[in-house]
């Protein structure tokens, strides 16, 4: 839908962004981590209502960075062009088993992936990261700021920048983003101008 005619207006893109953040907030409120948010898992109706699909706990939480087979098999997307997986989900296969991440995944991975989807929405279908760029970003060798500068909507660019922070502890909760960007990005959806 992002690249099809009639093209989405800025208002429609913000409406989709608002709905994605609201869906994330609802998932978080019941302790659900989606784990595979990407544009292919966001269904958009002809009325621009968003449905988040493919909620499953059967996919691996952590992936070897030097062997994309699991990534390709479980997450089934063209990762040479777009990658939505949070950087903290990768480890090097030479890492001893005892030192590999085992903790439960948190909603921060969904926030990161959603930030990538929102960027793609406002970049007319261009994703902020390929797999190679994401792995370089993970190591501090890639700056996503140049892609964010291509987003014409400065408030959305700032929102995405917050959501794709490299450190998961620096990413906010979906409800915090809805509150923080309420007046700048989503005033119509909170009824501020509807009387």
The residues with which 64 forms a beta bridge, in sequence order, are 91
Give yes or no: 36 in active site.
yes
Q: What is the DSSP letter of 134?
A: H
Q: Which residues contact 155 (CB under 8 A, 6 or more apart)?
A: 181, 184, 185
Beta bridge partners of 43: 51
CA distance 54 to 66: 26
- DSSP3 helix / strand / coil % (the chain, rounded to 5): 45, 5, 50
d(CA 85, CA 71): 9
Q: Which of 36, 66, 70, 153 is catalytic?
A: 36
Catalytic center residues: 36
């Amino acid at each position: 839908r992002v690249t099809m005619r009639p093209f989405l207006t800025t208002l429609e893109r913000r409406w989709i962004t608002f709905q994605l953040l609201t869906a994330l907030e609802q998932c978080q409120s019941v302790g659900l981590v989606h784990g595979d948010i990407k544009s292919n898992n966001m269904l958009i109706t002809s009325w621009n209502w968003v449905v988040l699909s493919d909620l499953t706990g059967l996919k691996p939480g952590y992936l070897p960075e030097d062997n994309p087979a699991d990534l390709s098999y479980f997450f089934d997307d063209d990762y040479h062009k777009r990658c939505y997986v949070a950087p903290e989900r990768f480890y090097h296969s030479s890492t001893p088993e005892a030192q590999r991440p085992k903790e439960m995944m948190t909603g921060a991975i969904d926030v990161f992936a959603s930030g990538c989807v929102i960027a793609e929405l406002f970049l007319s279908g261009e994703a902020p990261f390929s797999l190679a760029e994401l792995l370089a970003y993970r190591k501090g060798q890639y700056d996503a700021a140049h892609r964010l500068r291509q987003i014409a909507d400065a408030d959305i660019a700032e929102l995405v920048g917050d959501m794709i922070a490299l450190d998961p502890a620096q990413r906010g909760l979906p409800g915090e983003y809805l509150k923080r960007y309420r007046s700048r990005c989503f005033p119509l959806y909170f009824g501020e101008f509807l009387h």
